[in-house]
């Protein structure tokens, strides 16, 4: 289990492991913040890589289209709305949940921190892999006292 290995790593390397983990977290938050500010759809990215975090259940937000609504959609990305036998054409836009969440939850930084929390299972193995080489490097440079 990664949690046990992470605790063992913290016991063995102490402040170095904590520093590496915080550095990986800071890099992750920065990357996510830049991606969100550049309007990357983080939800579809999480879905593509099967990562937990943002719910894929949108049943609370929108109702599934009825059969009549499905028939009124055309192939060119426009929808046809039928009101009282008069037809109007409206453009059907794909919802960008990331932009909606960034606007409604207090900004892109809050969303980046939430996504960073969801990426914890990815960050722990990175920390486990990076800590021993960083500790050896710091010991060779005599920045830390104990040699690893």
DSSP code for 146: S
pLDDT for the residue numbered 61: 44
Whole-number mean pLDDT of the chain? Answer: 75
pLDDT for the residue numbered 102: 62
Residue 30: CB atoms within 10 Å = 12
**How do the domains of the chain map onto residue ranges?**
2-55+99-140
State pLDDT tens for residues 39-89.
Answer: 777 777 778 877 666 544 544 444 455 555 555 555 555 555 555 555 555
Percent of the chain clearing pLDDT 70 (strictly above): 58
State pLDDT tens for residues 108-147.
Answer: 888 889 889 999 999 989 999 999 999 999 999 988 886 5
- CA angle, 54 then 55 then 58, to 5°: 130
- Single pTM value for the model: 0.60
- Measured CA distances, 111 to 17, 54, 99, 100, 102 (Å): 26, 10, 10, 10, 6
CA distance linking residue 53 with residue 32, whole number of Å? 14
pLDDT for the residue numbered 41: 76
pLDDT for the residue numbered 126: 94
pLDDT of 23 strictly over 70: yes
């Amino acid at each position: 289990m990664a949690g046990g290995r992470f605790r063992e790593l913290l016991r063995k390397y102490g402040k170095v492991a904590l520093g590496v983990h915080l550095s990986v977290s800071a890099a992750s938050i920065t990357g996510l913040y830049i991606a969100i500010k550049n309007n990357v759809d983080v939800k579809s990215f999480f879905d593509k890589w099967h990562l937990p975090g943002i719910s894929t259940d949108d049943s609370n937000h929108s109702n599934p289209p009825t059969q009549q609504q499905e028939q009124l959609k055309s192939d060119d990305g426009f929808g046809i709305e039928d009101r009282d036998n008069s037809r109007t054409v409206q453009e059907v836009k794909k919802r960008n949940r990331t932009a909606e969440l960034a606007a409604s939850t207090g900004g892109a930084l809050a969303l980046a921190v939430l996504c960073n929390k969801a990426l914890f299972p990815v960050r722990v193995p990175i920390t486990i892999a990076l800590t021993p080489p960083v500790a050896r490097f710091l010991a060779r440079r005599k920045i830390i006292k104990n040699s690893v």
